[in-house]
Amino acid sequence: MTVAHAESYARGAQAPALIEQTIGAFFDGMVARHPEREALVVVHQQRRYTYRALQAEANRLASALLGLGLAPGDRIGIWSHNNAEWVLMQLATAKAGLVLVNINPAYRTSEVEYALNKVACRALVAMPRFKTSDYLGMLRELRAAQALPQLQHAIWIDVAGEGAEEPGFMRFSELVKTGDPQDARLPQVARLLHHRDAINIQFTSGTTGFPKGATLTHRNILNNGFFIGEAMRLTERDRLCIPVPLYHCFGMVLGNLAALTHGACIVYPNDAFEPLSVLQAVQDEQCTGLHGVPTMFIAELDHPRFKEFDLSTLRTGIMAGSPCPIEVMKRVQSEMNMGEVTIAYGMTETSPVSCQSSTDTPLDKRVSTVGLVQPHLEIKIIDPDSGATVPRGTTGEFCTRGYSVMQGYWEDPARTAEAIDAEGWMHTGDLATMDEDGYVNIVGRSKDMVIRGGENVYPREIEEFLYRHPKVQDVQVVGLPDQKYGEELCAWIIAKPGQQLGEDEVRAFCKGRIAHYKVPRYIRFVGEFPMTVTGKIQKFKIREAMIAELQLSEARTA
């Protein structure tokens, strides 16, 4: 197809056409086509909705949110694991023109305080508690300190009629009762909404220490969800099991929107990932698709009861979130009947998928690349120093342009300009190659970022946090290879002169203040860092020293 010296540039197909509608308008059209088809099954809540029922409940919630005095453009947070309320909020906010702000359920007080205040959330819907996380307790603490000045409404996700009252919080079930599915304001609001309006903010870890609010539009995520579903060949007969978190693009776009744009059924096996409940849900609900990061598929395949379950209905799904081990990919295809499993690659800032394999991508390409450019997008691989597009087969920085590129980072024009150039190209910081057929392979990434079990972590954010410890003089955080999570965090700490500091004290300082996956697994106390002659810290030498000390080996990946 291409001569050897061709440039690493590709443009996606131009058909089918982009959807130029809001999420609400497109969803209503799908309801009109498939009113009685099942749209949502939430196994752990024992709830089922047809498309018509889901529409009625989303309209009722949209009406109730407008009834709180919220207006189009206002931000409302959702701080919860997977449940029916989450997807209802996704649809209702789109219909009411509100910007849904995804809050990671692993966040602790300092992180949620920063996120809610950064985008001035006027309302927040939260689950009350989960395992060791007391969400309402954290919010009470922040409110008592008057740390959330913009937050006017706090709503907790309850089981209607059950549980004690939570002073200072409104029940979600009571909020919904105040709405009217036939509210005359809804069509009025719909007429004022535009598909290029911001509809969703997702926080991504920032190299400068604080998360950035990637701001996405109806057009961004609706189209990306549609074309992801196209690559999986989804139809209204498909039933997609979604055990990945909804606060992340994987659950919300590759899951919910891929299904809803094709009249398919969404199945949530549990509020958070648990392998047995996934296997049970796939069998009981006769799922045809299953999503997951590699660690999830490994946990399912290696579960002692794996062979008890009938997974014969499975056909497709997506493995993404971190590099996909070749052997795992082969086992998913052979042992889970997912012969048409696809690999997707992207980032939150690009809605998220830029490249994806399809159901008929040759096996060797499917296990060794992230597929081809998605429709209506352009991709190129450039020399990071000169900006020139490199020849095919040469490593460079992956860039993408098109409908999927975010509006920008919320109220942060400087960092937006660093990421998106004057010609509209998003610079991902990921290192990639493109072969002669246009298949892309991600070979590395911006030198600092760590991907732990599908979570993107920038060491700088952890360093900034640990600097706040009164005994820490200096700290460097690196990623180390890990067979289970892909990578684990390691902190090298220089204590202040005359101070004694131990691992337990550092972990105690982190507990409850930053997400569990950001707490370094390995902590070492040192007198100095390896430096260049010009005084630049050589993180790669820290990494090499720890790999040697711990006798670690790199996880083999596609």
What are the residue ranges of helices labelled H in 379-497? 413-419, 459-466
Looking at this protein, which amino acid is placed at residue 191? R
CATH of the domain at 177: 3.40.50.12780
Domain assignment present for 9: no
* CA atoms of 273 and 323, how far apart (whole Å): 19
Q: Pairing state of beta strands 265-268 and 38-42?
A: parallel
Q: What is the pLDDT of residue 4?
A: 47
Do 404 and 502 belong to one domain?
A: no
| Spatial contact of 10 and 434, defined as CB atoms under 8 Å apart | yes
Nearest in space to 200 (alpha carbons), one of 252, 244, 151? 252
Alpha-carbon separation of residue 331 from 231, 310, 320, 324 (angstroms):
21, 16, 15, 12
* Half-sphere exposure in the Cβ direction for 240 (13 Å, CA): 33
DSSP-assigned letter for residue 16: S
Structure tokens at 197: 């309006």
Do 182 and 296 belong to one domain?
A: yes
Do 373 and 513 belong to one domain?
A: no
The one-digit pLDDT tens for each residue of the chain (558 residues) are 434 469 999 999 999 999 999 999 999 999 999 999 999 999 999 999 999 999 999 999 999 999 999 999 999 999 999 999 999 999 999 999 999 999 999 999 999 999 999 999 999 999 999 999 999 999 999 999 999 999 999 999 999 889 899 999 999 999 999 999 999 999 999 999 999 999 999 998 654 468 899 999 999 999 999 999 999 999 999 999 999 999 999 999 999 999 999 999 999 999 999 999 999 999 999 999 999 988 899 899 999 999 999 999 999 999 987 667 777 888 999 999 999 999 999 999 999 999 999 998 988 888 889 999 999 999 999 998 899 999 999 989 999 999 999 999 999 999 999 999 999 999 998 889 999 999 998 876 666 778 898 887 878 789 889 988 999 988 999 999 998 899 999 999 999 889 999 999 999 999 999 999 999 999 999 999 997 665 668 888 999 999 999 998 765 444
Domain assignment present for 15: no
Measure CA of the first residue to CA of the last residue in the chain; give whole Å. 24
Alpha-carbon separation of residue 110 from 113, 246, 332, 537 (angstroms):
5, 22, 39, 28
* CA atoms of 265 and 283, how far apart (whole Å): 15
CATH of the domain at 525: 3.30.300.30
Domain assignment present for 442: no
Three-state secondary structure call for residue 342: strand
Domain assignment present for 10: no
Q: Which of 397, 429, 461 is the last residue of a domain?
A: 429
Number of structural domains in the chain: 2
Do 366 and 477 belong to one domain?
A: no
| Spatial contact of 485 and 452, defined as CB atoms under 8 Å apart | yes
Which element (helix H / strand E) includes 406?
none
Do 521 and 473 belong to one domain?
A: yes
Number of H helices, E strands in the chain: 18, 29
Domain assignment present for 113: yes
* CA atoms of 404 and 402, how far apart (whole Å): 5
Do 418 and 489 belong to one domain?
A: no
Which element (helix H / strand E) includes 523?
strand 522-525
Domain assignment present for 371: yes
Q: What is the pLDDT of residue 534?
A: 58
Do 106 and 56 belong to one domain?
A: yes
Q: What burial letters (b/e) apply to 496-525, b meaning 16+ CB within 10 Å?
A: eeeeebeeeebeebbeebbbebbbbebbee
Domain residue limits at 497: 450-550
Q: What is the pLDDT of residue 446?
A: 61
* CA atoms of 253 and 69, how far apart (whole Å): 28
* Half-sphere exposure in the Cβ direction for 279 (13 Å, CA): 21
Domain assignment present for 330: yes
Do 285 and 247 belong to one domain?
A: yes
| Spatial contact of 193 and 71, defined as CB atoms under 8 Å apart | no
Q: Which of 365, 400, 429 is the last residue of a domain?
A: 429
Chain Cα centroid distance, residue 79: 14
Do 33 and 75 belong to one domain?
A: yes
Q: How are strands ordered across the β-sheet holding 353-356? A: 47-50, 38-42, 265-268, 239-241, 289-292, 316-319, 340-346, 353-356, 372-373
Domain assignment present for 443: no
Do 264 and 412 belong to one domain?
A: yes
Q: What is the pLDDT of residue 161?
A: 84
| Spatial contact of 204 and 214, defined as CB atoms under 8 Å apart | yes
pTM, 2 dp = 0.86
Structure tokens at 479: 């990623």
Work out whether the CA dihedral 455, 103, 84, 45 comes out positive or negative.
Answer: positive
Do 373 and 467 belong to one domain?
A: no
Do 480 and 334 belong to one domain?
A: no
| Spatial contact of 350 and 379, defined as CB atoms under 8 Å apart | no
CB proximity list for 475: less than 8 A, separation 6 or greater: 463, 466, 467, 491, 492, 493, 494
